[in-house]
Amino acid sequence: MTKRRTALRFSVLDTAPIVQGSNASQALRECVELAQFVDGLGYHRFWIPEHHGMRGVASAAPAVIIDRVASMTHHMRVGAGGVMTPNHSPIVIAEQFGTLETFHPARIDLGLGRALGGPREVTDRIRSPHDRAATPFEDQIRELLELFDEQIEDRVTAVPAEGNRPEIWLLGSSDYTARVAGALGLPFAAAHHLQPRNTIAATHVYRQAFQPSTLCPAPRTMISVAVIAAESDERAQWLSGSLRMKISRRKEGQPIRLPSPQTAEHYGYATRRAAADELDGVFIGSPATVLTRLQDLAEATEADELLIKTDLYDPSDRRESFKLLADDLLAHSHRQTQ
Can you give the three-state secondary structure of the chain, one letter per residue? CCCCCCCCEEEEECCCECCCCCCHHHHHHHHHHHHHHHHHHCCCEEEECCCCCCCCECCCCHHHHHHHHHHHCCCCEEEEEEEEHHHCCHHHHHHHHHHHHHHCCCCEEEEEECCCCCCHHHHHHHCCHHHHHCCCHHHHHHHHHHHHCCCCCCCCCCCCCCCCCCEEEEEECCHHHHHHHHHHCCCEEEECCCCHHHHHHHHHHHHHHCCCCCCCCCCCEEEEEEEEECCCHHHHHHHCHHHHHHHHHHHCCCCCCCCCHHHHHHCCCCCCCCCHHHHCCCEEECHHHHHHHHHHHHHHHCCCEEEEECCCCCHHHHHHHHHHHHHHHHHHHHHHCC
Determine, yes or no, domain membership for 87. Answer: yes
What is the phi-psi region of residue 171: left when phi exceeds 0, alpha when psi lies from -120 to 50, beta otherwise? beta
The count of structural domains within the chain is: 2
Statement to judge: residues 257 and 114 lie in one domain: no
**Residue 2: its pLDDT value, please?**
44
Determine, yes or no, domain membership for 235. Answer: no
Determine, yes or no, domain membership for 233. Answer: no
**Residue 272: its pLDDT value, please?**
62
Peptide bond into 160 cis (omega under 30): yes
Determine, yes or no, domain membership for 153. Answer: yes
Statement to judge: residues 125 and 249 lie in one domain: no
Statement to judge: residues 297 and 191 lie in one domain: yes
pTM of the entire predicted model: 0.93
Determine, yes or no, domain membership for 93. Answer: yes
Statement to judge: residues 269 and 289 lie in one domain: no
Q: 227 forms bridges with which residues in the sheet?
A: 283
Determine, yes or no, domain membership for 1. Answer: no
- Identity of residue 140: Q
Statement to judge: residues 193 and 220 lie in one domain: yes
In order along the chain (338 residues), what is the average pLDDT of each group of 10 residues? 66 98 98 99 98 96 98 99 95 97 98 91 86 87 93 78 96 97 98 95 98 98 98 96 92 93 88 69 96 96 98 98 89 57
Statement to judge: residues 270 and 314 lie in one domain: no
Statement to judge: residues 41 and 88 lie in one domain: yes
- Identity of residue 131: D
Determine, yes or no, domain membership for 234. Answer: no
**Residue 1: its pLDDT value, please?**
37
Q: CB–CB of 228/284 below 8 Å?
A: yes
Angle at 297 between CA 292 and CA 298, to 5 degrees: 100
Statement to judge: residues 22 and 74 lie in one domain: yes
Determine, yes or no, domain membership for 209. Answer: yes
Residue 136 burial class via C-beta count within 10 angstroms: exposed 0-12, middle 13-18, buried 19 and up: exposed
Statement to judge: residues 275 and 311 lie in one domain: no
CATH number (domain holding residue 141): 3.20.20.30
CA distance 94 to 168: 11
**Residue 156: its pLDDT value, please?**
78
**Phi, psi values for residue 110, rounded to 5°:** -125, 100
Statement to judge: residues 169 and 102 lie in one domain: yes
Q: Which domain holds residue 198?
A: 9-226+283-336
Helix axis angle for 199-209 and 175-184, nearest 10°, is 30
Q: CB–CB of 301/221 below 8 Å?
A: yes
Statement to judge: residues 78 and 48 lie in one domain: yes
CA distance 179 to 294: 24
Statement to judge: residues 171 and 245 lie in one domain: no
